[in-house]
């Protein structure tokens, strides 16, 4: 379809739809033109064509507003606010293209889009620079890590933010904090929408239940017939890379504001409590992870306390008694990982003004805590996650200019905000490596994390370790955004010269993209 025809169709659809809605008695306060349009709109990526589409939508809204006498605001919607320069750049494009709109909206998911401080900072700059209202059009957080329908969740245990437990309280805290971040913008900050509060299972699935297979089968039939999931398999005809792959049930049901049976959660009340507040009994919300790294042959010292997070956001260090037998079994002369169980010492003297509630005491008396102990997890790779400004230790050999860059974008990094990014309109081909000297002779393990997409059928990706006498490799690949892969090479020998070169080789199709991050080299023997 020609862009002129597509723009006209968008204009007519918008105008007819709004007319029907208003004729039915609805008061329309805002219309969003496009959804998360960072990379395109209605199949168009060129900004000139996108302008035509957006202006067609805006024109329809303005005409309906004038005809009906309703004050209808126009919103545009982008995502990935963690990329500040990209977000501001999109606003600048809207200005340059003279797009008619009132509100700049963003998606903000804490597990993808950076800190709340950054969210406020970006929204403030948008409001002050471009004179627009701002808002969060989408946010959410899990209240459980359970799978409600047999379709895997997008966000599981490994994606949680330490500040927010996967609980109703954690979900509540996330919503409250996002609302506060928008409020901190000032008068230009309009508010927050939650997505998607009512996306609950068709049939409740329990993996260990006797009827699990039957429930899953019935769910799949409903997803295809009624479109009650993300999409049906037929979506592949128009959206092969997204809906055509991820069709089926809801991967978001654990982030709804209703349980799997459709009952409202306590977290739903947060929108009312934002105005009036509330007081609840003090309970334990979460126990912060205990992770101990011990260099080879070093003395193991277990922490005397563990940090416990209460539902009022306070963090209290509680004395812990660790299992003596498990602690004694840890061998610090060889690399390895261990778990040590502990019990809270609830008889400890709490300050009178900080004494926990009876429910907290009961929890601590009955709850175990587990520490993860890693021996010799001393990373020998310099600037392993590219967070330091000096990157001279890295040697990158690329098949074309501009193919790689050290990218400041938290949502594309495995940890921190920096990563090694690659993309090219030509075929992608490069190596990145570091030569490490001064190593102790012994056996080592090398690995890294990578993610990406559009690699093509003939992609070749692998990591390598070269000690000058032997070159070891391990094949890898990419399977989509934030689907992090961790290729590992074990049993690497470092000789008396103490030198090892480690790196990665990436070759893939034109427009292939991705990031590499958190390289590591550990001595294991």
Residue with tokens 């804490």: 110
Task: Tell me the three state secondary structure of residue 408.
Answer: strand
389 is catalytic: no
Among candidate residues 138, 168, 285, 433, the one labeled active-site is 138
Q: What's the rounded Cα separation, in Å, for the pair 482 and 472?
A: 27
Q: What's the rounded Cα separation, in Å, for the pair 376 and 493?
A: 16
Q: What's the rounded Cα separation, in Å, for the pair 499 and 433?
A: 13
H or E element that contains 74: strand 73-78
The contacts of residue 76 (CB under 8 Å, 6+ apart) are 32, 33, 34, 37, 54, 94, 99, 101, 103, 104, 105
According to DSSP, residue 108 is labeled -
16 is catalytic: no
DSSP per position, 457-508: TT-EEEEEEE-SS-EEEEEE---EEEEEE--EEEEEEE-TT--EEEEEEEEE
Among candidate residues 8, 36, 196, 266, the one labeled active-site is 36
Q: Are 464 and 473 in contact (CB under 8 A)?
A: yes
- Phi, psi angles (nearest 5°) of residue 283: -135, 170
Q: What is the dihedral of CA 153, 157, 159, 163, to 10 degrees?
A: 130
C-beta neighbour count of 302 within 10 angstroms: 17
Task: Point out which residues pair with 104 in neighbouring strands.
Answer: 76, 134
Q: Are 178 and 136 in contact (CB under 8 A)?
A: yes
Catalytic residues: 36, 138
């Amino acid at each position: 379809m020609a862009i002129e025809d597509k723009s006209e169709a968008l204009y007519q659809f918008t105008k007819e739809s709004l007319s029907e809605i208003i004729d039915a008695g609805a008061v329309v306060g805002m219309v969003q033109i496009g959804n998360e349009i960072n990379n395109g709109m209605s199949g168009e990526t060129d900004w000139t064509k996108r302008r035509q589409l957006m202006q067609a939508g805006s024109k329809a809204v303005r005409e309906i507003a004038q005809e009906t006498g309703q004050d209808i605001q126009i919103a545009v919607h982008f995502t990935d606010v963690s990329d500040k320069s990209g977000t501001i750049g999109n606003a600048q494009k809207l200005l340059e293209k003279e797009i008619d709109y009132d509100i700049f909206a963003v998606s903000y998911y804490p597990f993808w889009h950076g800190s709340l401080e950054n969210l406020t900072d970006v929204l403030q700059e948008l409001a002050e620079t471009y004179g627009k209202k701002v808002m969060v059009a989408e946010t959410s957080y899990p209240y459980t890590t359970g799978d409600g329908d047999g379709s895997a969740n997008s966000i599981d245990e490994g994606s949680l933010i330490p500040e927010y437990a996967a609980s109703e309280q954690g979900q509540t805290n996330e919503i409250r904090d996002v609302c506060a971040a928008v409020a901190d913008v000032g008068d230009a900050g309009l508010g927050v929408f939650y997505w998607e509060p009512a996306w609950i299972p068709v049939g409740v699935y329990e993996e260990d239940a006797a009827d699990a297979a039957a429930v899953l089968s019935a769910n799949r039939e409903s997803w295809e017939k009624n479109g009650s999931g993300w999409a049906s398999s037929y979506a592949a005809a128009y959206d092969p890379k997204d809906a055509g792959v991820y069709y089926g049930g809801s991967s978001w049901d654990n982030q709804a504001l209703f349980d799997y049976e459709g009952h409202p959660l306590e977290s739903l009340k947060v929108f009312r409590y934002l105005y009036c507040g509330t007081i609840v009994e003090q309970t334990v919300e979460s126990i912060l992870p205990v992770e101990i790294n011990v260099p080879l042959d070093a003395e193991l010292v277990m922490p005397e306390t563990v940090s416990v997070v209460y539902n009022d956001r306070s963090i209290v260090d509680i004395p812990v008694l660790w299992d003596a037998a498990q602690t004694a079994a840890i061998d610090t002369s060889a690399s390895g990982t261990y778990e040590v169980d502990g019990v809270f010492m609830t008889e400890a003297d709490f300050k009178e003004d900080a004494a926990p509630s009876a429910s907290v005491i009961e929890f601590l008396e009955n709850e175990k805590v587990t520490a993860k102990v890693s021996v010799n997890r001393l990373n020998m790779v310099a600037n392993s996650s590219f967070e330091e400004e000096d990157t001279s230790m890295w040697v990158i050999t690329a098949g074309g200019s501009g193919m790689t860059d050290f990218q400041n974008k938290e949502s594309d990094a495995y940890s921190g905000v920096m990563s090694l990014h690659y993309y090219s309109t030509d075929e992608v081909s490069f190596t990145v490596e570091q030569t490490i000297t001064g190593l102790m002779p012994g056996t080592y393990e090398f690995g890294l994390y990578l993610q990406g997409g559009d690699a093509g059928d003939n992609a070749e990706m692998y990591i390598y370790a070269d000690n000058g006498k032997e070159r070891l490799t391990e094949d890898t690949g990419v399977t989509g955004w934030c689907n992090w892969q961790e290729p590992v090479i074990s049993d690497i020998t470092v000789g008396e010269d103490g030198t090892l070169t480690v790196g990665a080789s990436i070759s893939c199709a034109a427009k292939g993209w991705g990031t590499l991050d958190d390289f590591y080299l550990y001595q294991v023997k």
